[in-house]
Amino acid sequence: MRAPHRLWALGALLGTGCGGHAGSTTPHVATSGCGSAATGDGMFAAETLRGERSYHVRLPRDYDPSRAYALIFRFHGYGGDGLSAGLGIEGPAGDDAIIVGPDGLDRGWSASSEAGDLAFFDAMYDAVTQRYCVDRTRVFAYGFSMGGGFSNLLGCRRAETLRATAAIAGFDRGTGRCARPVAAWFQHDQDDDAVPLAQGAAARDRVLERAHCSTRTTSAGSCVRYQGCDPGIAVVWCETSGRGHDIAGDTAPQAVWDFFRALP
């Protein structure tokens, strides 16, 4: 039997209820795509970069080209694609974010294709921000398993672009110097036999070190939030049991969106 999950309690850690809206105190920085005509219907549309790499973009229904939206990249696990189920943050985000679902090379995000995947991320970011109205201060990466590992890597290698990352059953891929710390949310299951808990904890510990967090935490449900981090940086760790290597599509999308939107 699966252990009870109370990720809804994450709102208590962030100072906002899951049903409320936490307003950002950071001024919006709009992209060049603001003002360009575009139509959104809440569905994903396929896009291709130079005929090589593919991704899917979901604009909010009644997309407003004069409004700067949050931008969320969601990275699938091995064997999936940009439309794979489970990372459905577009549900809780509703009409408040532009969602990009990239297709991994050979259906994954391998260390062997790291340079190409980083270039792919850069190209997607450029294409989306040039075409659509995005708030540059509200760009996020969210992934599962291999996609979680890649999201963790982006949190280091593309820290100048991202405000925060979230990883389900991810692992540490952040090596070398990082431009700056970014906020980070993690969920890992004690019974994960594909990506052991220690690998997710290693990714968390690297972020804690970069952000100069203390060992003090506050807790709510299965999640803890670390104290004493650099200004504006939140780090949340959610440790579950009984799920195994599971994408947690029933709880994580809402918890991740609550984390993202509550950031200052």
pLDDT exceeds 70 at position 10: no
- Report residue 177's pLDDT band, with 50, 70 and 90 as the boundaries: confident
pLDDT exceeds 80 at position 12: no
Whole-number percent of the chain with pLDDT over 70: 89
Taking phi over 0 as left and psi of -120 to 50 as alpha, with beta for the rest, 187 belongs to: beta
The pLDDT, as a whole number, for residue 178 is: 87
Average pLDDT over residues 203-210: 96
Find tokens 């506050």 and name the residue: 218
Q: How high does pLDDT run on average in the chain?
A: 90
- Per-residue buried b or exposed e for 92-126, using 16+ beta carbons within 10 Å of the residue's own CB: bbeeebbbbbbbbeeebbbeebeeebeebbeebbe
The pLDDT, as a whole number, for residue 31 is: 84
Enumerate the β-bridge partners of residue 69.
134
pLDDT exceeds 80 at position 145: yes
Sign (positive or negative) of CA dihedral 102, 238, 182, 263: positive
Q: Of the candidates 72, 122, 124, 80, which has an alpha carbon nearest to the alpha carbon of residue 99?
A: 72
pLDDT exceeds 80 at position 3: no
Higher pLDDT, residue 237 or 20: 237
Average pLDDT over residues 158-164: 97
Cβ-based neighbour number of residue 247 at 10 Å = 24
Higher pLDDT, residue 170 or 16: 170
Average pLDDT over residues 139-160: 97
- Report residue 77's pLDDT band, with 50, 70 and 90 as the boundaries: very high
The pLDDT, as a whole number, for residue 16 is: 35
For the stretch 81-108, pLDDT in tens is: 999 999 999 999 999 999 999 999 999 9
Find tokens 């949310």 and name the residue: 185
- Report residue 220's pLDDT band, with 50, 70 and 90 as the boundaries: confident
Q: Which backbone phi and psi does 71 adopt, to 5 degrees?
A: -125, 125
142 and 151 Cβ atoms separated by less than 8 Å = yes
